[in-house]
Amino acid sequence: MKAWRFESYGKPDLMQFTEIPRPAPRGDEVLVKVVAAGVNRSDVVAVAGAFKSTTPRTPGRDFAGVIASGPDEGLAVWGSGAGFGVSRDGAHAEFFLSPRGWLRPRPQTLSAVEAAASGIPFIIAYEGVVTAGSLQTGETLLLTGAKGAVGRAVRQLADHLGARVVGVAKGVGSQPDMIDANTADLPAAVKDLTGGKGVDLEFDAVGGELFEPAIRSLRLGGRQVAIASPEQRQVKFNLVDFYHNGTTLRGVDSMGFTGERVAGIVEHLNELFEMRVLRPFEIETRPLSEAVAAYTAVGGGSAKRQVLEV
């Protein structure tokens, strides 16, 4: 079978599109025929060595495919795999292996391409907004990185829950309920938009220099969920203000999720996609052979979700 492989860490063009043996299921595994596979930023940084993947390795976390052998052969499935591209081979190939318990049926409202584009962004959004953040109807959510894929998934979930979203992104100008990260005093802008109260929940998809202003934008007893800080690992904030405010800080790391946990979240997403509460993103498709171009687009900040068709 054809698969993308990397044997050392670096830029996407070091990957090789090569022929490798089709894997044989063992134990509770099934063989999945890939129909479409999403490309995430985490795939790009995995190839770059961020997660110290064992090599040689096939990357690719998000997939839509069909069980080719094993229980429920012929079933159309989708989701994201635990350790894919790091400790086990992922979905940027014609076939991959997965424990059967990690797979969930693809909802009829999504094509294979749409499902492959919807994995990690919606999985992280659901975990951060619903599970870790406990967002409630009528609350206000502050969303940094509002224009990114995760940010757009968070907004859809917040809208469904009946919450108000105040977005933060660079270069947004004077749009309603949007704050320009390039120019605004974030806590002051938030207070203006919330009548001096502050927000109930902050979903921080940026971290770094925005972490401290965001945490100062919370109301008394507010919650902050952090999912990333790619450019600055260490941040500072006033600890006295933090505990006086009764703030709760939670971290969400999808790379640490088990396959069963991912599958459980996908079950919830299935229901929301079937109800058409959630909608897939704008997508750019490429054949599997053009994965390097898709990786390059993701690394360059493409607004379109990159999907490889097999």
Give the pLDDT of residue 175.
Answer: 86
This prediction's pTM: 0.95
What would the pLDDT profile of 206-262 be if each residue is shown by its tens digit?
999 999 999 999 999 999 999 988 878 899 999 999 999 999 999 999 999 999 999
State the burial class of residue 134 (Cβ atoms within 10 Å of its Cβ: 0-12, 13-18, 19+): middle
Closest CA to 99 of 44, 30, 41, 149: 30
**What structural domains does the chain harbor?**
2-118+281-309 (3.90.180.10), 121-254 (3.90.180.10)
Pairing of strands 76-80, 140-144: unpaired
What would the pLDDT profile of 51-78 be if each residue is shown by its tens digit?
999 999 999 999 999 999 989 999 999 9
Pairing of strands 164-169, 178-180: parallel
pLDDT at 174 over 90: no
Q: Determine the angle formed by the axes of helices 119-126 and 149-161, rounding to 10 degrees.
A: 50
Give the pLDDT of residue 43.
Answer: 98
> Collapsing DSSP states into helix, strand and coil, what is residue 285?
strand
Percentage of the chain exceeding pLDDT 70: 100
Percentage of the chain exceeding pLDDT 90: 93
